Amino acid sequence: MKIRPIHLALLGLLTGIPQAHAIPLSLAFGADASASDNGWGGGTSKSDLVDNMASYYDTWAHGLAAWYNVGNFHVVLDFQRDITFNNVVAWWHRDVNGAAVPNVVDLQIWNATLLAWDTVFSTTNAVATLGPYDDPTTWTSRPTSFAFPTVTTDRLRMVYDTNEIYQRSREHAWLHEVAVYNVNAAPEPTSIVLLGSGLFCLAWAKRSRGSRSARR
């Protein structure tokens, strides 16, 4: 019997295997993550911030939670190499209507000459960019997306104001992921070769079909 997607879906239902969602592959996947502190409660895992997962299926206890009203909280991602990017997507644990999402966010990159952080993006209205839950059936999160002119760096720091959250909603923020992307980047040479090969095959197939039709 030929295995079709419907068979896999039925197998998943019968065996209780969750259908894991996958966010686009982050350039920060596997980076070294550190933070202002070690988090608290179920949110004490810095490595969860760079595992390319916005939802979890085994337990609620994932990600990094900042305590209430402790001023600026920050997360540092050390990529261990220079990477180029222009978009950061922060995923916030099970937020309801932005109550536990910061409005005041700065993104900074490391300036190795001045030995200081350069701010490349600032907002006081991050909740306005809040997107839908990644997977509402499980321990999930919602994204805020920040776009800025393209930068190249080996370290990113995201700073957010916990006081602003507390004053607005008496909540605290809890990150599931800090994903990094280079949006609209020029395709890699390998992609161009693959695309070229695909176009050649398509043209060849069309020509073959045309020849067969002509012979009929």
Residue 185 CA to residue 146 CA, distance in Å, equals 16
Specify the residue, 52 or 163, whose C-beta has the smaller distance to Ca ion: 52
Is there a contact between 153 and 107 (Cβ–Cβ < 8 Å)?
A: no
Amino acid identity at 88: V
Residue 58 CA to residue 51 CA, distance in Å, equals 15
Q: How far is the CB of 125 from Ca ion (least distance, A)?
A: 24
Specify the residue, 142 or 176, whose C-beta has the smaller distance to Ca ion: 176
Specify the residue, 18 or 196, whose C-beta has the smaller distance to Ca ion: 18
The H or E element that residue 81 is part of is strand 72-93
Q: How far is the CB of 40 from Ca ion (least distance, A)?
A: 17
Binding mask 164-183 for Ca ion (x = CB under 5 A): ------------xx------
Specify the residue, 54 or 159, whose C-beta has the smaller distance to Ca ion: 54
Residues in the chain: 216
Binding mask 99-138 for Ca ion (x = CB under 5 A): ----------------------------------------
Q: How far is the CB of 176 from Ca ion (least distance, A)?
A: 5
Site for Ca ion in 27-56 (CB under 5 A): 48, 51, 53
Q: How far is the CB of 127 from Ca ion (least distance, A)?
A: 20
Residue 178 CA to residue 158 CA, distance in Å, equals 9
Specify the residue, 120 or 179, whose C-beta has the smaller distance to Ca ion: 179
Q: Across the strands, what pairs with 91?
A: 143, 177
Residue 55 CA to residue 184 CA, distance in Å, equals 26
Nearest to Ca ion by Cβ — which residue? Answer: 177
Specify the residue, 47 or 111, whose C-beta has the smaller distance to Ca ion: 47
Q: How far is the CB of 43 from Ca ion (least distance, A)?
A: 11
* DSSP E strands, 112-207: 116-123, 141-161, 174-181
In angstroms, the Cα distances linking 179 to 27, 80, 108, 144 are 7, 16, 14, 10
Binding residues for Ca ion, rule: CB under 5 A, are: 48, 51, 53, 176-177
